[in-house]
Amino acid sequence: MTYNAYSLDGKLVLVTGGGTGIGRGVALELARQGADVALSYASSAKGALGAVEEIQGMGRRAIAIKGNLSEVAECRRVVDEAAAFLGGLDGLVNNAGITATVDFLDVTEELFNRIYFTNIRGEYFCCQQAVPYIIERGRALKIQYPERSWAGGSIVNMSSVHGAVGFAGHSVYAGTKGAINAFSRELAVELCPQHIRVNVLAPGSIEVPSYFTADPSYTRAIGDSMVPWGRVGLPEDVGYLAAFLVSDAAEFMTGHVLYFDGGLTAKMAIPYTPAKGER
């Protein structure tokens, strides 16, 4: 069989926050490309179990693992259970996170801790627990395929455009995303000798179920109008890029923050009307 660097056949991947929204879209796309997937979830059991059924229907192995990733012990347990079920780890997609739109002066200590503990502490300690499994998997693959150079393991940390641009009410959330960006760049350098690459996916407007529950007046047309490209993003869009980053085709890419936003961060927000005769 011809080697396909883009294929995820045989890859073993944990996706945190995989029960809904972006995480679910990523998990399903990884499976479509051939990966066996473990999904963690905090409260979206129905979505996680439904995703497991879909993945199994594709002929891939899958498991849903409940865990509160704001707690370090839970991070370690979820990663351990995922690796035990899959038989190791080739990759980790750190997607679990929470957001809240709150005025800066109204942010409480409890809210601050809840968002930081899940969004950055959760990613940090899931990475720490996953790295030894990825290293061991690399050793096993070198023995199994001595003729093939190991393309390395892959960690994809989910951030947001909020880590790069300002938006009212997101002082805490944006802070966690900036921390994820900085931590991931550092980790990419530190893990180069272990041949594990670390990249960040920073989505913009991605239509997830919470768009509709948070604002009952939200419509797809409204979402489309917010994005320079002309349409709102969808979870499967993020899945396509995540699948590439997990694949061997991304072997030479590490330490990057990829803004995946239909042009949001590229567009200057200052309103401008050309003067008469100006083009």
Reduced 3-state DSSP string for 185-224: HHHHHHHHHHCEEEEEEEECCECCHHHHHHCCCCCHHHHH
Lowest-pLDDT range, 136-145, 226-235, 262-271? 262-271
Q: Do 27 and 58 meet the contact criterion of CB atoms below 8 Å apart? A: no
Which of 137, 156, 154 has its CA nearest to residue 249? 154
Instruction: Determine whether 259 is an active site residue.
Output: no
SS3 23: helix
Q: In one letter, which amino acid is 168?
A: A
Q: What residue segments make up the domains of the chain, in order of their start? A: 12-260
| CB contact set of 183 (below 8 Å; sequence gap of 6+) | 120, 123, 124, 157
Tens of pLDDT, residues 181-231: 999 999 999 999 999 999 999 998 888 888 888 788 888 998 898 899 999
Average pLDDT over all residues of the chain: 93
Tens of pLDDT, residues 63-114: 999 999 999 999 999 999 999 999 999 999 999 999 888 999 999 999 999 9
pLDDT band of residue 245 (cuts 50, 70, 90) is very high
CATH 3.40.50.1820 at 12-260, yes or no: no
pLDDT over 60 at 279, yes or no: no
What does pTM read for this prediction? 0.92
Q: Say which of 116, 173, 218, 272 is annotated catalytic.
A: 173
